[in-house]
Structure 1
Amino acid sequence: MQFIDQAKIEVEAGKGGDGIVAFRREKYVPAGGPAGGNGGKGGSVLLVAAQNLQTLLDFRYNHRFQAENGSRGGPNNCTGANGKDLIIEVPCGTVVYNAETDEILGDLVEPGQTLVVALGGKGGLGNKYFLSNRNRAPEYALPGLPGEIKSLRLELKLLAEVGIIGLPNAGKSTLISALSAARPKIADYPFTTLIPNLGVVRKPSGDGTVFADIPGLIEGASQGAGLGHDFLRHIERTRVLLHLIDATSDDVVADYNTIQEELQAYGRGLVERPQLLALSKIDAVDRETKDLEALATQLNHLSYSPVFLISAVTGAGLEPMLQHVWSILEQLNAPEVSERML
């Protein structure tokens, strides 16, 4: 399935039905008077968060959506039928912007959460409404009002508690495949991962935690270089960042600094998120020529974050790392922490 995380659409709510001019014409009612009904209300356009959707692919070729118009009024004071609301399903985690003003209209996070993006027009008034002592037989009615028309920009930000970040080929996809049932494409060349991958990792209690494998970031990602610019937004919702550094790299400190500088440049509080580091691919390192423990200590002093030595291939170090992740999430879920974050 192709992953699409941005889309532009145009929505138009239904027009209100017209009011009509009508008079009672019963045989034994010599002065029946006006009896034109009001028009029905136009249907509105609503966006609803759906748990079964993971991408905005549905909007790649279908850009325009229109709700049903209201029906015109009827004789004998009958009000026209209201137009049906148009419900459009979007993935959970979709942020809705007004494409013209860039104003955020809503953030659909929870399944079933609803946002009205375009209101239907009001129905026109029939001539019955204009009956008065001065005008006993009004011969005019009002047309229905048009519905709202809006251009929207949809932006999907993945919902994951743990975001796996790092340079290309740091081992992110291999790690998420080892921890969960996710099976992302893995190869030995940069930018194998072109889309974010989600995987559910089970806690010892049996609960699942969503991990996101974010495509590799490079220097300049926050300004649009490489793939990182398009996918940095997916880190915004994560609560914990797991930074993978390739232990076989010639300069692990430079690799660490590259990612941290991009997080800092992108802003939005990413660099302040709880973070832990992991030196990956330790199974491919010659321990006689490279002191991994010394590198881990150096990174710890540099980042003040815990550093783990792991191998997604052999499973070495994964359990202690996960235990630390669970510990951080428990602290973040504590009531006093949650209140401070609000």
Structure 2
Amino acid sequence: MSVVSTAPLSVSDRADYWQDAVSRAFVPLDVVLHEDAPAAASIVTRQVGFMQVSTVTAGPQTVTRSPRMIARDGKETLALTLLHRGTAERSQDGRDAVVRPGQFSLSDSRRPFSKSLRQAFSLTSFHFPRSALAVTDLELQAVTATPFGEDEALSALLAGHLKRLGRSAGSVPVAQADRLAAVTCDLLACLIQERQGRLAPQEPAAVEAMLLRVKEYMLQHLADPDLSLVAVAAAHHVSLRYLHKLFESEGATAARWIQQQRLECCRRELARATSHAPTVATVAQSWGFANASHFSRVFRLAYGTSPREYQAAARGRSR
């Protein structure tokens, strides 16, 4: 992790330092601050495989990637930016857009662009090589400076993925980092191709995107005892047979995957060192197990001990 901050600097030194910091962290950019006395700003950067994940917090400013700046480095990188706070006015490829909190947008370093933030803001930017995104240049140019949010299924899936990746970037195992970065690019390619009407449901990227979307839905509904595979399939407009096929490469059936996630949530809750520990039955019910006896059996099979014994051992360790 690298951290750049203007907080230790005097107000008069912050503008020049920030201009240099932004260009070094990303690509050469012209930065104009819209404050007479610039507020403290920071860039926290982590690497996830071939993808750079940077969280930026700063005051009002405009950043521009001009032809002069492009000529300075010739970098061929893309930036997928998720806005957390503030509003961004983005321009590229003859298109202007307003991006709001919770939305994300894409920019291409090979062509001029600008981004204006008229108030204090916070965002996470995901930078990766153009070569990592399997779409044509025409498809790419059709979606730069375009706001994407949670109003459509695939963009909502990618938005949720970006939020989680931004939060966990510092703890991603090295062995999984490149794969996770590749999944991010695959989801983005699926979204772009969906906008172009070219996404075929049997394509590997589409299958993986659908599997991630299904898992996301299952995780959101783990606590519902009525969660069923029929309901999951219906929510995603696929057949039950197709749902089973999605999980063929997972090493577990769809039903078993749900059970594993529920068990893991229960295990974590039972392991909490709290003065008012919940009962085993309460934990089981809170994660969708309607039958306490069944929960105890499957918990013992998974972890080699009963839920009550596991909880007692965890409390003993905490003491």
Do they fold alike, i.e. is TM over 0.5? Answer: no
Task: Considering Cα pairs closer than 8 Å and 6+ residues apart, tell me whether 1 or 2 has the greater RCO.
Answer: 1
TM-score, normalised to structure 1, is: 0.22
Structure richer in helix, relative to its length? 2
Of structures 1 and 2, the larger Rg is shown by: 1
TM-score, normalised to structure 2, is: 0.23
